[in-house]
A and B are shown apart, each in its own frame.
Chain A
Amino acid sequence: DAKTTQPPSMDCAEGRAANLPCNHSTISGNEYVYWYRQIHSQGPQYIIHGLKNNETNEMASLIITEDRKSSTLILPHATLRDTAVYYCIVRVWSGGSNYKLTFGKGTLLTVNP
């Protein structure tokens, strides 16, 4: 299974962009990168996913390097409510159209006033 490496914690000032890095150097050609976040004592919330092109939605942008060995999640204007643990996950196919999401330790992003 492809594994991911993330810094354990990061700080960001409110209103500034938060850039969360993730290394996934063993990713295979058909494996997607997913990002979820978990606010304390809640279930994870889906943020974004991508394969090789950069992606953007209403929550965030995902920048994937050309060699696909790393990616960066960008929250363009962080707010206090964005304080959470952010998980970068490489989706692993488990047969047919099924896949598994294996969570690593994630990055605790703390947005400061």
Chain B
Amino acid sequence: GAVVSQHPSRVICKSGTSVKIECRSLDFQATTMFWYRQFPKQSLMLMATSNEGSKATYEQGVEKDKFLINHASLTLSTLTVTSAHPEDSSFYICSARDSRLMNTEAFFGQGTRLTVV
């Protein structure tokens, strides 16, 4: 299947700093990308959906000023966690698909483990 690469796979940052996570589609054009967050022993929670060249659509309860999403190209989306706090520590996962095709599946990155200390 298609490959989605996420970087870094794990990151530790100090409270109050910002962290950027990259998500790349390696062999297809990702017109739509999704960002999820997963806390231990819980399911994935959709944070936002972004279409290339447009502003992201955030799910209810997700602060758009805290979780900045940029999707400026067809192969790259970034999630920046601004002013990170320990409660932002989580597993962040991106997903991508070519939404120009109606029924294509979404492929997931390997996830980024963020620890805020």
Contacts and interface: CB of A to CB of B under 8 A. Distances in A.
A42 B111 contact: yes
Nearest to A38: B44
B78 interface: no
Interface residues of A, number: 23
Contact of A46 (B45, B105, B109): B105
Interface residues of B, number: 29
Interface of A: 32, 34, 36, 38, 41-46, 49, 87, 94, 96-98, 100-106
29 contacts: A41-B91, A41-B111, A42-B111, A43-B4, A43-B93, A43-B108, A44-B44, A44-B93, A44-B108, A46-B105, A46-B107, A46-B108, A49-B105, A94-B49, A97-B99, A97-B100, A97-B101, A97-B102, A98-B49, A100-B46, A100-B49, A101-B34, A101-B106, A103-B36, A103-B43, A103-B44, A103-B46, A105-B43, A106-B43
